[in-house]
Structure 1
């Protein structure tokens, strides 16, 4: 009699249809991972003949398809997706750990990065930037941006000059130099710095050619209409500096007259007749700023973009992965939890060995293949019909047997 076998087949086909229906209904769910079912046959052993007979089908396990879904871009900086391996690691309010591929995050009232369920994205503070993660994830904490809403000013300590001097310029008479008379100098570069009080200061650099391959550079502070001690540079035949390439410049503080030292870097000044006429400067100081936006790089580093145009690293996302990630337990809402079957958890930085890179400004679509699901649905339907037909035949055979009695 195949009645029990047919019933097990009905149950298996019904379970398969449930999973297929769930996959189809989540075809547009962000970060959803399609599921499948693994069947195994049931057997029995007769004592007299020592032969095995089939006893139907059993559901061995349900597993998730962890293949990466397609990406659609939202241009929102806190919409993240992982290219290839890895899961975002989340901390719930009850301190439970969960995992997801749904990277739709926002900033909550505590300035934590959280998902729609309020679970905090975890990682490391930027102070542990060079930490070797390995398999140690016990010290991962919620990413807290509350201390980075504002940044204090930083005074300029290094000022770099980028300039191209023409070797064919006329030589000027040294004693005639005057900032008010343009014929007494060859070139001028306007720069600005930040002093220790966070105030902007303007310094002009005047380039005066005093001999072949020799130039004087005269700093002049525009704020106070004050000349600063000049310095000399000398070039070789190839237009490279052969004299000192750095000088210390003293400026008076605006508040108390205290001297502030700034290192002038001249490495990028050349004497050649280059067609590149772009002359500019850079310095390491900045004014106070308030947070305007966040940018997350491929390696998981979170940068703050401030009103003073500074881009400063704040924190770092750490990803998790598992030896058998397809066996993670689905908790709904695109959230997974680990179990004994999911294997060992490892953590690491995005875009490193074993982990995909984080892409900012896009989300991962569901990886449900509708064509495949419709085919599986037809197969499950046929299996159900076939097992139902077996039951009908069994019923007819049973009736025939009963009529013989």
Structure 2
């Protein structure tokens, strides 16, 4: 099982920016390919090829996985797969700029969901990054001009629902990275991709599966599968282990910036003022996300260090703990007796201190046996009955001697000679 060790915010940020660039490059390619390939077929083939590619690169990645890892991978795949299907279906009835802006609204939905579901306090710096990212997205999409295309409210609602699912996917993935026992980012990515492929393939198989008919279409499919899905999902899973959820979403919301950059570099579009302003806003949001991610990861790392130190200190204190021995040990065997001569002066007898309360024999059987010995010792000459160790035995001995001298007392009936 793969384990993500010490936080590396800069590495995570670079990977998440790569995810944004990979997904941004896939957006125009996918919009072009759905005119020649059904949406369900495109999604099924894209994600199945991505999952199989990762499985071929690491065949034993799914061996010995825990049950909760399979469950989490399936849930993440369903969430993202339904969002992809809804976005692709709505793309027929929405301009690309409107669709891109609606999907980018996940940057606002993510902190709201984090506040509602996890009671996560959103810092002002994070909100500033969210506002900057949304403003930059608006400039790069809507203000650049909307194509002459009718906007369907149903399609817009589907795209916003897909954005909400993407936000939930981000929060769940961030939650899984914090669980004890390590974060299996590679097998979890494979499970997600295969789940999305099987989910969309179940819908696509009803009318038969269509495949790309030309070489360029296969190249587009390869880019969508290997670069955007396989590498993109891997980079996202590993990157989110080092950057918190909301800053991660801010970094991944820079897709319109990469789309604009690709349009200028590869398709030789004119660089406009809206691109420059939107890009500057996106860059500011990225910087805020990096600073917030570094601060959050630093606090989390310090908290884990303190917990580890506390655990080690507890173990050391437990090893140094002195166990007291019980001074009152009850020894077995017959009751001890001393010589007759010791009874001449009971104040100096060794057993006198043991005759105090609590120092006697706790066993009722021993008490009865001691009383029997004392009664039997009455007939012995001298101080035979005073050989008893306990205070009770000495008291009974004194009472028996008094009963022998004073016959008029009430004790005469109980301690008379046969």
- Bigger proportion of residues as helix: 2
TM-score (norm 2): 0.21
The structure with the largest alpha-carbon Rg is: 2
More strand by percentage: 1
Give TM-score, length-normalised by structure 1: 0.22
